[in-house]
Structure 1
């Protein structure tokens, strides 16, 4: 069974939330770059679980919500030259970005 995004408190994974600021006319291009990077590179890296790319309705933000089996797996990806090439391309399209690792602390459903 393929891994999918599963948001669950207490789960021992590394959750990357990277918020990109982008000019509205470049938003679709940035989404395409992040999607291509995930398909061509990230999903084949050890420890990758999932990635979800979100585009804001105002066109000014793109959010990458990605899950990795551990912080060590995430850090290994950061050191990978092929992955860095994609990250450099995404950064060049943005006005700025703010990647951070998170732990899910609380989840609520109807």
Structure 2
């Protein structure tokens, strides 16, 4: 009989405390909805000594992205309290809108704003289910 798979076999336990460092949206209230919007989840890994500068650069760059990226709906950055990571949750109108920012200075993979501070890995998703409280 096959043994049930346990997530711990694939992913070591990881517990991080996070706080929001920057959050921008096109409207006061952004609703997360299932459908064709693109969700961008990114993880930045860094030395704890680099996190203050990363927070500073991120705050500047998220404002620039909001001004220059018409398909950006919202972007929220979280820093880990241990100083080793930052996470970004962003929503875009389309995959094409997200890909357009990769051509802009600072977001271009050849010379990103986080160069020298962090490693970045991101993935794109579609929201398939949302449950709201209330």
Q: Assess same fold via TM > 0.5.
A: yes
**Residue among 35, 42, 48 paired with 1:18:** 42
- TM-superposed CA distance for 1:68, in Å, is 1.0
User: Following the alignment from structure 1 to structure 2, what is the Cα–Cα distance between the partners of residues 52 and 34?
Assistant: 10
Indicate the structure (1 or 2) with the bigger Cα radius of gyration: 2
User: Following the alignment from structure 1 to structure 2, what is the Cα–Cα distance between the partners of residues 20 and 33?
Assistant: 13
- TM-superposed CA distance for 1:90, in Å, is 1.1
Cα 1:62/1:82, change in 2 over 3 Å: closer
Structure 2 SS opposite 1:64? strand
Higher relative contact order (CA 8 A, sep 6+): 1
RMSD: 2.0
TM-score, structure 1 as length reference = 0.81
Q: Which has the larger share of helix?
A: 1
Number of equivalenced pairs: 105
- TM-superposed CA distance for 1:99, in Å, is 1.1
5+ long unaligned stretches in structure 2: 1-25
- Is 1:106 equivalent to 2:118 in the alignment? no
- TM-superposed CA distance for 1:102, in Å, is 1.1
TM-score, structure 2 as length reference = 0.68
- TM-superposed CA distance for 1:104, in Å, is 1.6
